[in-house]
Structure 1
C-alpha cells in the first residue's frame, strides 16, 4: 500500500468509500508482483494497478460488489482467460487478487485499531507487517509493529508464527501462506528507502527525478551553496542540505534502508562522507569516477586506516555497466544498481 499511499491520502482525508485490491499470489509470467495494490472508489475512480491490463475492468466490477455487500472477494485470472494475452499472462501466468473494503471503513474496535496502527506507520515512514486472514470464517486483520506489539485479531499460535513473519519482513517479502490450516496474506511494510546524494552535480538532476518515480526519500547534500538550491532541480528532492557531509549526516539516520551516492569528484567532500558511510550500516555506497580515480580514492582510504574489506563496499565506478554516457543514462545505471541491491535478500 505504501506505493499508492501518497495518492490515496486525499481519499482518506475526504472519507471516501473505496475498496482495495491486492495481488496475493502469482505464478509464471505476471505483469505485477505480489503486494501490488489498486484502490477503487464507489465512484469508480482508480489509483494504482494490479495488472496493467484488462483485468482491471473485472477488478473494478468486483470492487463495486464488495462495497455494496461489505464482503471481500477472491479473484483469479490465468492463461486460459481470454484477457490473458492483453495482461501479460501468456507464459502459464496466473494471478490471485483479493478485493476488500479498505480498512479506513472499519467499524469494529479491533479493525479500527489495525487501521490506526497502519495509518500511523505509513504517515511516519515506519515499518510493520499487515496480516490479512483470508477465509470467510475468520476474515480480519492484524498489524505487527516493529516492537512486536500487535493490534487487531492475530491468527492462532501467533508467537510461533512471529519468526516466519520477521524473516519475510527482513527479505521484504509479501505473500500468501497457510498457517494452522488457515490462509493468510502477509504484507511486509518496510520504511520508504532513503537516497543520499552527496553533490548536486549535473547527474544529480535526472537522478533525483528518476528516484522520485521509485518512491525514494531523497536528500541532496552539498556545501557549495551555488549548487544546493531548489531551483536547480525541476523535480525537487525531499531535502537539500547546504552542509558538509559530516554535518549533514548528524541530522540523518544511516541505516539499512539508506542508499548513498557520491557525485562531486572532490575528495574534500567525498572522502569525509566515505569515512562515515563505510562504518555505517547503509546498504549501498556508490562513488562517481573512473577506475583511475577510484584507485587514488582507495589509496587515500587505506592511508586513513580503512581495510580492504571496508573499501570493497564502495561501488565504483558507480552504476551498472550499460555503457552510459549522458547524465540521464548514468542516473539510470546508478538506480539500476541500487534496485539490484535493494531487491537482493538480506541477512
Structure 2
C-alpha cells in the first residue's frame, strides 16, 4: 500500500494521469477483500493487486479502457467457471471493482484521499504502540496515535502517522475522533487503569475491531469490573484480549506483527 501511494504521488508530481482500481464490495469467497488496490500508469505498468489470476487480468483490461476513455466505472465479476457465466475462476464469490481515472490536476493529497476509509486508532504511543503504527500504516490503515504524554505523542516519534493526538488524559480519548464500522481500536496504554478507561469508552463506539494488551488474568479482572458496571457478555465478546495472534511474541516488534496479523484476519473476515 505504501509503495502504491508513493507511485501515485510521483505520477501526480510528474504531471501524469493514471487509473486506480479498488475492490469496493465482495460476496462469498474472493482472493482479496474490500479496499484492495491496483494502479496502472500511462505505460500500462501495474502496482498493487486486486487478487491475481483471471480477476486481475480482467481488471487490467478494463483499466486500459478507462485510461483511454477517461470515464470511471464500477465492474462486477462472478468468480465462477465459464459454464456458470463466470470469468473462469473457482473461488465461487462475486467482486465489484471500482476503476477510477485520476487526473493529476484534480487530485490533492493523494495519500490521504485514496488511502482508504479504514482507520486504526492506537491508544498508547509507547514501545508497542510505536511498532504497531509502523506495521498498520504499511498495510494500508490511516493511523491515529493517542497518548497523554508529550514525549510519546509527537511528530518526531511518529513522522509518518496521519494524525498524532496529545490528550489531556485517556478519559477524553474519544472526544476528538469519530468511529464507524471501518474503525480498528488498539488499546496499548501504559497501565491497567488507562486500558480499562479506554476499553469502557471503546465498547460504546461502533468499530470493526477492539483489541487490548495484557495478560489473561489482568483482562479477566477488567472484564469482571465492566460486567459489574452493566456491560453485557456480548459487549465483551467484541474484545480481542489478550490482543494479537498467539505466536509467542515477546518484543514490541513481534507483538506488533501479532496484532497486525489478527487485524488482517478480522478485516478479511477469515474464520478457521
Q: Could you state the TM-score of these two structures normalised by the residue count of structure 1?
A: 0.57
Query: Within 5 A, what are the aligned runs for 1:47-196?
Result: 48-50=47-49, 96-97=57-58, 98-99=60-61, 100-101=63-64, 103=66, 106=69, 111=71, 114=72, 130-132=73-75, 175-176=77-78, 186-187=96-97, 191-196=116-121
Q: 1:279 aligns with which of 192, 201, 204?
A: 204
Partner Cα separation in structure 2 for residue 304 and residue 21 of structure 1: 47
Indicate if the aligned counterparts of 2:22 and 2:50 stay in contact, CA closer than 8 A: no
Match of 2:126 in 1: 201
Per the TM alignment, residue 236 of structure 1 is displaced from its structure 2 partner at its CA by: 3.2
1:264 aligned to 189, 200, 218, which one?
Answer: 189
Give me the whole-angstrom Cα distance separating, in 1, the residues matched to 2:50 and 2:141.
23
Per the alignment, in what secondary structure is the counterpart of residue 230 of structure 2? Answer: coil
Partners of 1:20 and 1:102 within 8 A in 2: no
What is the alpha-carbon distance in structure 1 between the residues aligned to residue 65 and residue 171 of structure 2? 44
| Matches of 1:341 and 1:38, distance apart in 2 | 25
Deviation of 1:2 after TM superposition, in Å, equals 10
**Does the Cα contact within 8 Å between 1:220 and 1:239 map onto a contact in 2?**
yes
Q: Is the 8 A contact 1:175 1:186 kept in 2?
A: yes
Q: Larger relative contact order (C-alpha < 8 A, sep ≥ 6)? A: 2
Contact 1:18/1:102, CA 8 A, preserved across alignment = no
Q: Secondary structure at the match of 2:207?
A: coil
Write the distance in 2 (CA, Å) between the matches of 1:20 and 1:225: 38
Between structure 1 and structure 2, the one with the greater Rg is: 1
* SS of residue paired to 1:210: helix
Partner of 2:107: none
CA-CA distance at 1:247 after TM superposition:
2.7
Sort the Cα spacing of 1:49 and 1:273 in 2 relative to 1 into closer, same or farther, 3 A.
closer
2:19 and 2:216 mapped to 1: Cα distance? 52
Query: What TM-score does the superposition give when structure 2 sets the normalisation length?
Result: 0.70
Instruction: Output the CA distance in 1 between the equivalents of 2:130 and 2:2.
Output: 25
Q: Deviations over 1:183-236 (max 9, x none)?
A: 997216994311111111101122111111111000111112222122223x53
CA shift at 1:257, angstroms? 0.5
Q: Structure 1 residues 265, 302: closer, same or farther in 2, change over 3 A?
A: farther
Could you tell me whether the CA contact under 8 Å between 1:265 and 1:288 is conserved in 2? Answer: no
Task: Show the counterpart of 2:155.
Answer: 230
Aligned length: 235
User: 2:11 maps to which residue?
Assistant: 11
How many Å apart are 1:237 and its aligned residue?
1.7
Structure 1 residues 313 and 188: alpha-carbon distance in aligned structure 2, compared to 1, 3 A threshold? farther
Distance between the aligned counterparts of 1:323 and 1:341, measured in 2?
20
- Residue 12 of structure 1 and its aligned partner are, at CA, apart by 4.2
CA deviation vs aligned residue, 1:89-134 (integer Å, no higher than 9, x gap): xxxxx96343334746646xxx3xx4xxxxxxxxxxxxxxx513xx
In structure 1, distance between residues paired with 2:2 and 2:152: 31
Q: What SS does the aligned partner of 2:41 have?
A: strand
Confirm or deny: 8 A CA contact 1:12 1:104 kept in the other structure: no
Tell me the equivalent position of 1:252: 177
Q: Which stretch shows the higher mean deviation, 14-23 or 246-255?
A: 14-23
1:331 CA drift (Å) = 0.4
Distance 1:330 1:96, change over 3 A: same
Gap change, CA 1:17 and 1:318, over 3 Å in 2: closer
Tell whether the 8 Å contact from 1:131 to 1:185 is kept in structure 2 after alignment.
no
**Which deviates more, 326-335 or 189-198?**
189-198
Tell me by how many angstroms 1:333 deviates: 0.5
Question: Hey, what's the Cα distance between the residues in 2 that align with 1:265 and 1:274?
Answer: 13
Distance 1:198 1:302 in 2: 22
